[in-house]
Structure 1
Amino acid sequence: MIGMFDSGLGGLSVWRELTRQLPDEPVIYFADRAWCPYGPRSHQEIAARSERIARWLFDQGASSLVIACNTATSAAAAPLRARYPHVPIIGMEPAIKPAALATETGEIAVLATRATLAGDKLEQLAARYRQQARIRLLPGDGFVEAVEAGELDTPNARQVVARALSPLAGTRTDQIVLGCTHYPFLAPLIAEAAPQATLIDPASAVCRQVHRLIALNALETPASEPPRYRFVTTAGAPDMQAFIGRVLGRDARVETLALD
């Protein structure tokens, strides 16, 4: 079983791609909506919370872990891998490399939470490609909150997106990296606000890595029965259930768990 977690609904964009690439794998998805958003919290808080969630997922039978959250990856991937060295742990990485390789104008942008933009992981990644492209860092203030509220195409969501993308006006930016798993759910509005740019979502590459590692570690589930999908949240189960039905087109029962 694959365990996945995010601060909220954003990681469902990764879940959607994972279940497309690995249709036979059971997945348990954990949304920590009581703590959402993670962005304003310290790395120490996020790392401790992530370790608590990971332990719970392993107790439920998860044999691999997907950190479907860029902020949690930045804060917790390294300590989790150190604590669980024999468990495949896959995190999110902003797709700066493919953006830098694909740009025709030499100008790209990374759209992410302020916590991700301020992290060492992103800075180290950006430093490798600054000679190939000018990299603009754009905070997606309000994006996570809009998605969590189910506002995927409302006047407020359009205003939030337009404000975040306004620094690109008059630039030659032709690639935008979606550096938060919530952001693909706002992709139509982002594309509308920056029609000259191609949006790059790392979910597909991340899920290919999940496939590679579970195969390498002989953790694949035999395709002898339909896969089991389980959804758990620390808050807002009815809203999450409605979101899964409306956005992912799937009927789902969402469990509520009080995680101390």
Structure 2
Amino acid sequence: MSDTRPVLLFDSGVGGLSVLAPVRALLPQAPIVYVADNGGFPYGTKSEAEIAARVPALLGRLAERYAPRLIVIACNTASTIALPAVRAALDLPIVGTVPAIKPAALMSKSRVIGVLGTNATVRQPYVDNLSAEFAADCTVLRHGSAPLVELAEAHLRGEETDLADYAAALAGLFDQPGGKRMDMVVLACTHFPLVEDKLRAASPRPLTFVDGGPGIARRVAYLTEGQSWPEAPGEGLAVFTAPTGISEGLRSSLRRFGLGRVEML
């Protein structure tokens, strides 16, 4: 018998679509529920206490409603703060998202790495630990950019955005001591790979951008290996946690990621 339980991906907004894409590429038969917590957006400017209280409770409701086989917290901020609490509360596999510092350090020639994330993510001790474990011989620069999250949301709605705003986000890394030698930038917010082409165009010199999406997809494939899937999974479902107007631009972007249905929690 086929197993119709979905894979549920969760983010504060549309950023987790950058994780959904590689998951779909590896597991095209997987039914998908994608949840954007627009009722709590943005996470990056919230306190640790707010996120630690909101995310486990909300994921508990979502698990009860959609009965997923696995949950992906497709959000660096939520993962670095709330992942242990979510795993303790829910009896199913939980895959988190963490900054891709390890692969960046393996690839860096200059040994200067930038970590571009939300304000909440870049200040987490988790980032300190990753840097110490995998990039001890590197200079690791960090910059939190709330405007870049908004730019990614606007881009997915089909709105025009200014390259100067992307350049300003990168300047937060370039302008730090050692920034001019930086050759790798870790996109430590799932929103940011959605505008990687904009960041590349706005950069004053070539950079290599890395994110955790492909690694997360491989982890999901490993954890579901041997499980059955529906022969035809149908259109994916996009769920929003608060009433919102879905512009045609956003609806088009959701369809591009295989999310043809939309509902409110």
Hey, what's the Cα distance between the residues in 2 that align with 1:11 and 1:155?
20
Query: Which among 202, 206, 210 is matched to residue 216 of structure 2?
Result: 206
Kindly, what percent of the aligned residue pairs are identical?
33
Residue 193 (structure 2) pairs with residue 187 (structure 1): no
Query: Which among 68, 73, 95 is matched to residue 62 of structure 1?
Result: 68
Task: Map residues 96-175 of structure 1 onto 2, 5 A cutoff.
Answer: 96-150=101-155, 154-156=160-162, 158-166=163-171, 167-168=173-174, 171-175=180-184
Task: Map residues 233-252 of structure 1 onto 2, 5 A cutoff.
Answer: 233-235=240-242, 236-239=244-247, 242-246=249-253, 249=256, 250=258, 252=260
Residue 56 (structure 2) pairs with residue 51 (structure 1): yes
Paired AA for residue 214 in structure 1? T
Hey, what's the Cα distance between the residues in 1 that align with 2:186 and 2:259?
31
Hey, what's the Cα distance between the residues in 2 that align with 1:114 and 1:168?
17
Hey, what's the Cα distance between the residues in 2 that align with 1:248 and 1:184?
18
Hey, what's the Cα distance between the residues in 2 that align with 1:56 and 1:172?
46
1:232 matched to which residue of 2? 239
2:19 matched to which residue of 1? 14
Residue 33 (structure 2) pairs with residue 28 (structure 1): yes
Q: Secondary structure at the match of 1:199?
A: strand
Deviation at 1:47, TM superposition (A): 2.1
Hey, what's the Cα distance between the residues in 2 that align with 1:176 and 1:247?
27
Query: Which among 247, 250, 254 is matched to residue 262 of structure 2?
Result: 254
Structure 1 residues 16-61: Cα deviation after superposition (integer angstroms, max 9, x where no partner) = 1211111011111110112110112122221222112211221111
Instruction: Check the 8 A contact 1:108/1:176 in 2, yes or no.
Output: yes
Query: Runs of 4+ in structure 1 displaced over 4 angstroms?
Result: none
Hey, what's the Cα distance between the residues in 1 that align with 2:214 and 2:251?
19
Instruction: Check the 8 A contact 2:164/2:202 in 1, yes or no.
Output: no
Q: Secondary structure at the match of 2:182?
A: coil
Structure 1 residues 83-141: Cα deviation after superposition (integer angstroms, max 9, x where no partner) = 22x41100101110111110111111111001000112111111223432111112223
Paired AA for residue 176 in structure 1? V
Q: TM-score, normalised by structure 2?
A: 0.87
The unaligned stretches of length 5 or more in structure 1 are none
Paired AA for residue 246 in structure 2? P
1:80 matched to which residue of 2? 86
CA 1:58 to 1:221, structure 2 compared with 1: closer, same or farther past 3 Å?
farther
Instruction: Check the 8 A contact 1:141/1:164 in 2, yes or no.
Output: no
Hey, what's the Cα distance between the residues in 2 that align with 1:74 and 1:246?
27
Instruction: Check the 8 A contact 1:3/1:28 in 2, yes or no.
Output: yes
Q: Secondary structure at the match of 1:33?
A: coil
Q: Secondary structure at the match of 1:150?
A: helix
Q: How many residues align?
A: 251
Hey, what's the Cα distance between the residues in 2 that align with 1:214 and 1:29?
18
Q: 14-23 or 164-173: which moved more?
A: 164-173
Hey, what's the Cα distance between the residues in 1 that align with 2:72 and 2:245?
21
Q: CA RMSD in A?
A: 2.1
Q: TM-score, normalised by structure 1?
A: 0.88
Instruction: Check the 8 A contact 1:237/1:254 in 2, yes or no.
Output: no
Instruction: Check the 8 A contact 2:110/2:181 in 1, yes or no.
Output: yes
Q: 131-140 or 178-187: which moved more?
A: 131-140
